[in-house]
Structure 1
Amino acid sequence: YAVLRDRLARAGIEHRFEELQETACRLAVAARDAHGKGRVAGSLGPIGASYRPDLAPPADEAAQVYAEIARLQAPFVDLWIAETMCSVDQARGALLGALGRGKPVWLSLSVDDRDGTRLRSGEPLADMLPLLAELTPDAVLINCSPPEVMADALEIIAEAGLPFGAYANGFTHISVDFLKPSPTVEALSARHDLTPQAYAEHALGWIAQGASIVGGCCEVGPEHIAHLAQRLQGA
């Protein structure tokens, strides 16, 4: 997610970009193989910083960045997820860089913590629909936003007519400190009320809306996913 040249450059290790991409991919493949089944998704994360689409380069420049990442990941992954995309232009850049490589591309968008009808850029989520019609990813999702706002967001992206879904986070909120340059997750606080049982109730609601892809993002752990899987298997 964060193995991007601009982020590594800030830490003085951009020269390790290709090495770290390959290492991440090999670890993911090894984990999948040890489990015995599943698909490996290559992450195309936001350039600049998470939740800061104002720091992202224009779509045509971003497409070149994502094309390089996709090329390096291609021997290892089964699909790509362009995730935590917070503006229409940011999403366009990621899709342009990843599409057309013979593997599925999922687009995942992040919406406002308090308003699931708006991207974190402030743009209406509905403004994404023309882009989805134009470039047609294989699925569209909402991620790294509170579970409480997902239902409103899913109602909108369902209009695209694509497979859709959600994987929410478990943060109390996105803090001001996290929006500063080069933040770490220490600037964020985890919720204590989002138990596996509570998260599963949210996810089952998304499925009732027609979602076919559900999971968890930051602070949603294996115990949440295990409980959700049990609920789905018992349904």
Structure 2
Amino acid sequence: MKEIILFDGGMGQELVKRNSSTNDPLWSARVLLDNFKLVKNLHIEFINSGSSVITTNSYSCTPQRLKRFNLENEFKNLQRLAITAAKEAVMESGSNSDVKIAGCFSPLPGSYFKDKSISKQEMIETYFSIGELQKDDVDFFIIETMSSIDETVNAVEALSNFNKKIILCFCLSEGDGTKLFSGEDLKEACDSIQIDKINGLCLNCSQIEDISQGLDILKKYNLPYGAFPNNFQSVKPLKLGMSVDNIKKRNDILIDDFVNYAITWLNSGCTILGGCCEITPNYINGLNNYFMNNKYKKINLLN
């Protein structure tokens, strides 16, 4: 029987929609402060849709992002709230023995940007501080949406100090699955990190058509690998500090399309799947139904 790790989909966009907190650059962090129960309930919905792993809703809870809104004093509180929401969701879903929690590590100032204003030391210290807050309450770490080599190397260096398995996710350039969003080569990024510190390689928050090309590169590193596509038209309109209201959802990638792309990746050897922005619980449920009907065994931890 083939084994697969099924993650959740995108938390941030769905939370903003359900909370009606539009035009807020704080994104999902705002919802943690305003409506904790909504975060927990969305986690539960993903679990009920079949996710064997959920990710903490702490993507936008970095000191650098919070500082722009004079909320850096909420950093530790928000990280703890995100962990608590995930843990309570697992317990309340009744699936506490089957669902694991991945601690989220995101680009510090914002997604899709190669920000030279943050030093190597600041990056490493910040990622380490997030790791300190998460290490006792999550099952493993997931580094998401890495768009440049520098931030990737620094995140891996910081988190390799913990006794936690790490999934590393890259964000691809739109239209070219061989490059990061920064324009740097995906292969060069993989070669730049301490690959022995990584337990899984993935692509996330990337357009679904670009994924296969990127996976062809990841599979050469002999690690579990996979994909978490988004369902955006394009992220290019987004500038640092802007609201996600500037990004439009695609209407041409329906659940069946998502599942069919995933089948292609599975057939190439992919063993980790999930979704990113605009991939809702219904999409994850579609994948889960495919797994149930095709003799896949869902697992929740990396070997």
Same fold per TM (> 0.5)?
A: yes
How does 1:1-235 map onto structure 2 within 5 Å? 1-35=59-93, 36=95, 37-55=98-116, 57-176=118-237, 178=238, 180-235=239-294
CA contact (8 A) 2:172 2:178 kept: yes
Contact 2:179 2:185 in 1 (8 A): yes
What is the total number of aligned residue pairs between the two structures?
233
Partner amino acid for 2:101?
V
What is the SS of the residue equivalent to 2:228?
strand
How far has the Cα of 1:57 moved from its partner? Answer: 2.5
* Alpha-carbon distance in structure 2 between the residues aligned to 1:99 and 1:51: 23
CA–CA distance in 1 between the matches of 2:100 and 2:278? 22
Decide whether aligned partners of structure 1 residues 106 and 56 sit closer, same or farther in structure 2, where only a CA change above 3 A counts.
Answer: farther
Q: Deviations over 1:59-86 (max 9, x none)?
A: 4431111000010011211111110001
Cα displacement (A) at 1:98:
1.1
- Within 1, Cα distance between the matches of 2:264 and 2:191? 26
Q: Which has the higher contact order (CA 8 A, sep 6+)?
A: 2
Q: Name the SS for the 2:173 alignment partner.
A: coil
TM-score by length of 1: 0.95
1:117-151 Cα shifts (integer Å, max 9, x gaps): 11111111110232345453110100000111000
Q: Is the CA contact 2:148–2:180 (under 8 Å) kept in the aligned structure 1?
A: yes
CA distance in 2, matches of 1:210, 1:133: 23
Task: For 1:219 and 1:56, locate their aligned partners in 2 and report how far apart those are by CA, in whole Å.
Answer: 30
- Please say if residues 115 and 149 of structure 1, whose CA atoms lie closer than 8 Å, have aligned partners that are also in contact: yes
Query: Structure 1 residue runs of 4+, over 2 Å off?
Result: 54-61, 131-136
Secondary structure in 1 matching 2:178: coil
**Separation of aligned partners in 1, 2:252 and 2:195:** 40
Task: Give 1:97 deviation, angstroms.
Answer: 1.3
Q: CA deviation at 1:13?
A: 1.0
Partner AA of 1:113 in structure 2: E
Q: Which protein is richer in helix relative to its size?
A: 1
Task: Specify every segment of 5 or more residues in structure 2 that has no aligned partner in the other structure, as ranges.
Answer: 1-58, 295-303
Identical counterparts, % of pairs: 30
Alpha carbon RMSD of aligned pairs, Å?
1.3
- Is residue 47–residue 55 contact of structure 1 (8 Å, CA) maintained in 2? no
